[in-house]
Amino acid sequence: LQVFSREAMLWAHLSHLNILPFYGIYRIGDMYGRLGLISPWMEKGHLRRYINNEPDADRILLLTDVIDGLQYLHDNRIVHGDLKGDNILITSSGRACLADFGLSNVVQAKLGGWSIITTIIHNGGTVGWEAPELLQEDNSEPTMTSDIYALSMVFYEAFTGKVPFHEAKTPVAVIYRVVLGQRPAQPAKDGAAYTVYGLTSEIWEIMVRGWGADPEARPELLEFLQVLSKCRRVDQRSKDEYGEALPPSKFRDAVNGVYRRLTIEEIAYTVSWFA
């Protein structure tokens, strides 16, 4: 319950074009007293599904969205911790936004006056996107540099439509390859990744640096942006922050007449979760 409430508290303080909006907490009302976190429904699905369903989708713009969202988190001293294509959702206007902050942590920071205690399950991320230092060290925690590693794997997803190490049959096989220093193979220069989807030699080079074994040698997010900017894409997507979805404030106003607000006692009980 505390992990759930901390995720809600963290998410509620985030507001960015490339971060999935947070609407609130919903009490399901079953015998178990379960709670759910509410966000807009993204019918276009996650990144890999979207690009496989819509081959003409601009990978460069989508990856720029991902970097912008991740930069926002890092600027607020937040580590995502589980960045992958499945946790990147696509809005109705075709923008990418980051979701699933269940593994996020706040680095030496406070939100809303409450200390956010880091709660990370070792190897809680997804092994194909996890940096080698997370796989090799006991009690290791995701960092901003491990987010950079995962970002490079997201680039691989975007340009190939495949998950990293897709040829490996088990998670253990993936871990074995990563620890041995193996990384995804470079797509053929005459293949679709290069000739259709926008991959360039310079982009591949920064991907290789990003998934390097040495965390300190990985490039900054700004370097990724600078490389993508050379592709000179024109963004003609809607400027509407949430696409067709209601902004969080309007959603809450809309449901206030349908669902009752929590009582003072219920609010006090909820706040006690953070104690």
Which residues form the catalytic set?
82
HSE value, Cβ hemisphere, 13 Å, CA-based, for 228 = 24
Secondary structure of residue 185 in the 3-state scheme: coil
C-alpha count within 13 angstroms, C-beta hemisphere, residue 172: 0
Query: What tokens does 92 get?
Result: 């109705």
**Torsion, Cα of 229, 65, 84, 189 (10° steps):** -30
Among residues 165, 133, 151, the alpha carbon closest in space to that of 203 is found at 151
How many CA within 13 A on the CB side of residue 151?
34
- CA dist 194 to 39, 159, 203, 220, Å? 35, 8, 10, 24
Residue whose entry in the numeric block shows the structure tokens 């971060």: 19
Reported residue count of the chain is: 275
Which residue from 36, 5, 16 is spatially nearest to 241, judged by alpha carbons? Answer: 16
Q: Which residues are paired to 36 by β-bridges?
A: 26
